[in-house]
A and B are shown apart, each in its own frame.
Chain A
């Protein structure tokens, strides 16, 4: 069964460092998403991406964050200068089509900022 894969599964970084989280969506999906979950809190929407551009983003997704689809398979989330409060589990998801389609999630990347 096709699945969304994420790397790394866990990353520890120092505050102020840049982090790139990588995702390989399901191959025929066209819509991609990032969510995050701070420990003990809700799963929060960050951004959705379609046709090589951001289609929607939340207030959380400020200038520190960016997304990119650098090739035909990867979808990345970059955090330019990490803060302590960026520590969370980051989930990538993909779907096709979005309006009625199921979102398929990866296993998550745990980011710890020290």
Chain B
């Protein structure tokens, strides 16, 4: 079945550091890939998405590129801020199915 594997957290970085959160997937067919973010006390929000191979999703300085050859969708940001502290979830869905399959989430803590 479909699955998503994320790097273990928590990830602790200093402000302005470079961020990478790894995500790999296993899926039948050609999935769409997503990153969701959950800020403290809030719900899951879509951060970015990519629907086909080599697409790059980007939002709020975050980027992720759909790599079919490595089945990966790593999240990156060049310079993190304290306000980026949150839990980040990688997710996929396949075909016309509406169900999202999530990874375990990676907690990011950014300090001054």
A-side residues, CB < 8 A to B, are: 3-4, 6, 31, 33, 35, 37, 40-45, 48, 55-56, 91, 93, 95, 98-100, 102-108
Main secondary structure of the interface of A (DSSP, over half): strand
B98 near A108 with CB under 8 A, answer no
Q: List 5 A-B contacts (CB under 8 A).
A: A43-B44, A43-B89, A43-B91, A48-B99, A56-B97
Contacts A4-B43, A91-B44, A100-B51 hold; do A45 and B99 have CB atoms under 8 A apart? yes
User: What is the 8 Å Cβ interface bit string for chain B, positions 43-78, against chain A (1 contact, 0 not)?
Assistant: 111100101000000000000000000000000000
**B12-20, B21-29, B102-110: which lies at the interface:** B102-110
Q: Please, how many angstroms separate the alpha-carbon atoms of A40 and B43 in the complex?
A: 16
Contacts A42-B104, A43-B102 hold; do A102 and B97 have CB atoms under 8 A apart? no
Given pairs A40-B104, A45-B100, A98-B98, 18 additional interface contacts (CB within 8 A): A6-B43, A33-B99, A35-B100, A37-B105, A41-B104, A42-B102, A42-B103, A42-B104, A42-B105, A44-B102, A45-B99, A48-B98, A91-B43, A93-B44, A99-B98, A103-B46, A105-B36, A107-B41
Smallest CB–CB gap between A62 and chain B, Å? 17
Contacts A42-B102, A99-B98 hold; do A107 and B51 have CB atoms under 8 A apart? no
Q: Please, how many angstroms separate the alpha-carbon atoms of A40 and B5 in the complex?
A: 14
Closest 9 CB pairs of A and B: A98-B98, A43-B102, A105-B44, A107-B43, A105-B43, A99-B96, A106-B43, A102-B46, A45-B99
- The listed residue with most B CB atoms (<10 A of its CB), out of A35, A37, A55, is A37
- The listed residue with most A CB atoms (<10 A of its CB), out of B45, B96, B97, B98, is B98
